Chain A
Amino acid sequence: MITMYKDPLQSLDMLLMRHAAGKLGPHESLLVNAAMALNDTIRKRIAQYEALGAQLICEEQAQLTQSCLEQVMARIQNPQPAADPCADKTKPCPPSPDLYIPDIVHSMISAVCAQKQKQWSRATHGIMRIDLRVKEPTPTQKFLKLMKMAPKFATPKHSHTGTEITLILHGGYADEFGEWKKGDIVILTDPRFAHQPVAGDDGCVCLTLTESPLQFHNPVTRMVNVFFRV
């Protein structure tokens, strides 16, 4: 029965540590940065892993070229009024109230996504979505989207193939595994359990990263393997 192997990369701490090490792709990186903005515990945890990373890298050294320090000193003594890469960027338009995205998360999304305008479109009954086109160095099979559920709305029971990572931006939802609120990250890794999220009184807006489309009404029972709440 216990033949399944759980990938150790699929847990919250692994995600946070990969962030600390600078190893996340643009989709995951956006999600984790947004989580840091909303969740003190996640921010603190990442800071701890960064401290760990700093310790690890301090253990070994490489030879610098002779001129390395000289060049740095020359640059700090004659600071170039370097073009600020952010300066010429048009300011992202402020989120419209019906987006329900915290401003800071909205500006992060605007910084890394190709589209500036964001409008909800109907995904299915009771669920609206915005597909985010994250700029990425090489195309990956990762889909990042904003999802919005109406207050009290119950989604159809569904499951996922591949890992699904969800950050709640507004409101919250409850499912078979607990109640989740703004700032929580929920990681689903096992396709064998289905779940049926039910939005709270304020509805629910979340940022969701998947590796494949949702599978509604799948006859195979699905299982949630790892579940984290922060």
Chain B
Amino acid sequence: MLACAYNIFEAVDFLAIAPWLRLEKAMSLKEAKNTPSSGAQNHAGFNELLAKVAATRDQQAFVEIFNYYAPRVKSWLLKNGLSDSAAEEVVQNTFVTVWEKGAQYNPKKAAASTWIFTIARNKRIDALRRDKNLDINSDSLALENAVAETAPEYADAQDIERLTEAMETLPPEQAELLRMAFFDDMSHSDISSKTKLPLGTVKSRLRLAMDKLRGMIQMGGAQ
């Protein structure tokens, strides 16, 4: 269903950086990783908790969700250049929306973490637009109400497992670059100067990381 064609330059360029592929297994993140979130299991717990908030308006469950995710959302916002007070405001708006829209949460369509992240992402965009007096609200682009109920399920537990696995098998430096490029709002040249890597290397590694992720996703997403 999804076909892509690269030209010869792409193919040759890929070969030039292919030696990285051989390093991947040896440099697996698995042992080195000691993060509070341990992937799918942790997710499942919060999915249930969020579904409970939706079903029973359980404030205690909501507080648990807040306590886990709010500091993480704030950390991401700070890295995206928001001031402490602006970040707190976006965090608050995010979790008020999590409560208000809780009934729309469908654990079959998204993990709690994903659902909360997308709300935070949109609240951040809205805050930036409000600063510029732009009369655009992310809700006006939202698909929730527009897409038929028959739409295929969104990322499911298997996808998340596969993504976690993909991230864990990426060489740590690639995973780090991916985070910086896409989720910490750093430009390629910012990353280059922070990591002291040449710009070309930053780009090659990012592309390699993307290729690998795409491969993992397609593998599971074959329809």
Within 8 A of A (CB), among B105-139: 109-111, 113-114, 116-118, 121-122, 124-125, 128-129, 131-132, 134-137, 139
Residues 78-97 of chain B, each 1 if its beta carbon lies under 8 Å from chain A, else 0: 11000010011001100110
Judged by a CB distance under 8 angstroms, whether A73 is at the interface is yes
Judged by a CB distance under 8 angstroms, whether B203 is at the interface is yes
Q: When A and B form their complex, what is the total count of cross-chain residue pairs whose Cβ atoms lie within 8 Å?
A: 229
Task: Select A44's contact among B9, B37, B118, B154, beta carbons within 8 Å.
Answer: B154
Task: Decide if A64 touches B71 in the complex (CB within 8 Å).
Answer: yes
What is the bound-complex CA distance between A8 and B185, given in angstroms? 16
Residues in B with CB closer than 8 Å to A138 are 132
Judged by a CB distance under 8 angstroms, whether A111 is at the interface is yes
Number of interface residues of B (CB under 8 A): 91
Closest CB-CB distance, A103 to chain B, in whole Å? 9
Nearest neighbor of B2 in chain A, beta-carbon distance: A230
Within 8 A of A (CB), among B50-99: 59, 62-63, 66-67, 69-76, 78-79, 84, 87-88, 91-92, 95-96, 99
Stretch at the interface among A20-28, A156-164, A206-214: A20-28
Closest CB-CB distance, B174 to chain A, in whole Å? 12
Task: Decide if B182 touches A23 in the complex (CB within 8 Å).
Answer: yes
Judged by a CB distance under 8 angstroms, whether A125 is at the interface is no
Judged by a CB distance under 8 angstroms, whether A220 is at the interface is no
Task: Select B6's contact among A7, A29, A50, A226, beta carbons within 8 Å.
Answer: A226
Given contacts A8-B210, A55-B113, A72-B96, contact A22 B125 (CB under 8 A): yes
Closest CB-CB distance, B176 to chain A, in whole Å? 10
Nearest neighbor of A5 in chain B, beta-carbon distance: B200
Judged by a CB distance under 8 angstroms, whether A85 is at the interface is yes
Judged by a CB distance under 8 angstroms, whether A61 is at the interface is yes
Task: Select A21's contact among B167, B183, B210, beta carbons within 8 Å.
Answer: B183
Number of interface residues of A (CB under 8 A): 77
Stretch at the interface among A35-43, A116-124, A144-152, A194-202: A35-43
Task: Decide if A55 touches B70 in the complex (CB within 8 Å).
Answer: no
Residues in A with CB closer than 8 Å to B25 are none
Task: Select B72's contact among A50, A60, A65, beta carbons within 8 Å.
Answer: A60
What is the bound-complex CA distance between A223 and B9, given in angstroms? 11
Nearest neighbor of A104 in chain B, beta-carbon distance: B146
Residues in A with CB closer than 8 Å to B30 are none
Nearest neighbor of A69 in chain B, beta-carbon distance: B66
Judged by a CB distance under 8 angstroms, whether B7 is at the interface is yes
What is the bound-complex CA distance between A16 and B79, given in angstroms? 21
Task: Decide if B70 touches A57 in the complex (CB within 8 Å).
Answer: no
Residues in A with CB closer than 8 Å to B154 are 43-44, 47
What is the bound-complex CA distance between A5 and B207, given in angstroms? 12
Task: Decide if B182 touches A137 in the complex (CB within 8 Å).
Answer: no
Task: Decide if B183 touches A26 in the complex (CB within 8 Å).
Answer: no
Judged by a CB distance under 8 angstroms, whether B100 is at the interface is yes
Could you give 28 example pairs across A and B, Cβ below 8 Å?
Answer: A2-B9, A6-B10, A6-B13, A8-B203, A13-B213, A37-B147, A40-B151, A41-B1, A41-B221, A45-B217, A50-B117, A50-B118, A51-B155, A53-B121, A53-B182, A57-B76, A58-B37, A58-B69, A58-B113, A64-B74, A76-B99, A89-B140, A108-B141, A111-B137, A137-B128, A178-B5, A226-B4, A227-B5
With contacts A6-B10, A58-B69, A79-B100 known, what are 4 further pairs, Cβ within 8 A?
A: A12-B4, A50-B118, A64-B91, A68-B70
Interface residues of B (CB under 8 A from A): 1-7, 9-10, 12-13, 35-37, 39, 59, 62-63, 66-67, 69-76, 78-79, 84, 87-88, 91-92, 95-96, 99-100, 109-111, 113-114, 116-118, 121-122, 124-125, 128-129, 131-132, 134-137, 139-141, 143, 146-147, 151-152, 154-155, 159-160, 163-164, 167, 178-179, 182-183, 185, 188, 200, 203-204, 206-207, 210, 213-214, 217, 221, 223
